Chains A and B, each alone.
Chain A
């Protein structure tokens, strides 16, 4: 325990200062968020590259929580779904049901090129389509995988912080 305390003191603050905010128009459903967005992540068939970037976003260096965003376990607790990967056949119904489980007002963030337009998996036998073919998408974050700065920028666009 003492060594952990000494390590905490030595390490100090790891979070990098926030980059300047890009002025973008938030989607209409984000009007009532006012600084707080709870996000439920859905892996519709991704290669987990985007998941690593999400983990990095909410880690100490980029600290997505300081902008008011938080990952939650249940779609009932969430305002936004963060969907990664192309929508595979097995996850199509599950994604639709998860979307329907989210209370209004609700948003969908399509994270990564696969979620936007199937990316490298376009036309594969197990893929039904992009996320926008299954649920309506409000925010898109391009990249394969998108860097944490892009994800942070998308989150800040939703919360306004």
Chain B
């Protein structure tokens, strides 16, 4: 229980720091000085104090979308084994359930974009559900590949089995599953090469186009929730393939502290790698993204086939 609370507090507090770290890594590689790791915290603080706006013609769906996005991100944070494998919400700690909750958050945002009635909102929603639909098969097949060895899709069980048998990570199945999950994370969180989170050109937007109408605390919630989703997904990638340091059920305070530090290091390293990769890549054309996702689907299929033939 304490581990889960610690996990939620850590992720909620640290997610903007991860975004700041990624922006700082990009800035340094581009030769700039960068605004500092704490800048997203300053942005959020300022946004919370601004005025919220209800555009004419929007309704309860527009108002509910940021809340639902943040709520699903919070539930997923409490469930995914980041600091501890023992989740108090064991009935929710299933990989299929976590995937579906993240999809629910994206759907809420898409509906919020459609509720504005502007062309940009509709465009962002349309592109978002296209990417979501094409990413689903890859996600579920990667879950399949990971669960074959363990015999369960329960997140705690999968992570515990990797903790007990670390060498199982060095196998073609794990390598393929890791690559496909990395592509999935990039697609779900809207990073380059699927989507550019800092673009100003509406015709190139996917995620940004849905949130063009939001202001003040609503925008703060959306940005926070997006940062939390990125942190949780990177943490999940780390826990699934490099779970060293994660605390087991009933661990003492020292083990929890070690787990917290390990999580911070893992997520930091993965985020820095992702940001560095973004410097070398450009965003793909919208209609090249299905090719990328189809390629990752084939890799996931190979991972499942490998898990059968090599078992």
A adjacent to B, CB under 8 Å: yes
Decide if B199 touches A104 in the complex (CB within 8 Å).
no
- Bound-complex Cα distance A8 to B29 (A): 6
Decide if A103 touches B215 in the complex (CB within 8 Å).
yes
Chain B contacts for A8, CB-based, 8 A: 29, 31, 279
Chain A contacts for B49, CB-based, 8 A: 32
Chain B contacts for A13, CB-based, 8 A: 28, 31-33
Q: Say which size band chain A's interface belongs to.
A: 20 to 34
Chain B contacts for A76, CB-based, 8 A: 53, 212-215, 219
Decide if A67 touches B35 in the complex (CB within 8 Å).
yes
The prevalent SS among residues of A at the interface is loop
Query: Quick one: given A34-B42, A35-B42, are A103 and B32 in contact (CB under 8 Å)?
Result: no
Residue B288 interfacial (CB < 8 Å): no
- Bound-complex Cα distance A33 to B208 (A): 23
Query: Quick one: given A4-B280, A15-B33, are A77 and B215 in contact (CB under 8 Å)?
Result: yes
The prevalent SS among residues of B at the interface is loop
- Bound-complex Cα distance A1 to B29 (A): 14
Decide if B42 touches A66 in the complex (CB within 8 Å).
no
Chain A contacts for B214, CB-based, 8 A: 76-77
- Bound-complex Cα distance A35 to B216 (A): 16
Decide if A33 touches B33 in the complex (CB within 8 Å).
no
**Nearest chain A residue, comparing its CB with the CB of B40:** A36
- Closest Cβ of chain A to B203, distance in Å, is 11
- Bound-complex Cα distance A34 to B222 (A): 21
From A65, A71, A105, give the contact of B35 (CB < 8 A): A65
List 22 contacting pairs A-B, 8 Å CB cutoff, sorted by A: A11-B31, A15-B31, A15-B32, A34-B46, A35-B42, A36-B42, A36-B43, A65-B27, A65-B35, A66-B27, A68-B42, A70-B35, A71-B200, A73-B200, A76-B53, A76-B215, A79-B46, A103-B50, A103-B51, A103-B52, A103-B216, A104-B50
| A interface residues (Cβ-Cβ under 8 A, vs B) | 1, 4-5, 8, 11-15, 32-38, 60, 63, 65-68, 70-74, 76-77, 79, 103-105
| B interface residues (Cβ-Cβ under 8 A, vs A) | 27-36, 39, 42-43, 45-46, 49-53, 199-202, 205, 208, 212-216, 219, 279-280
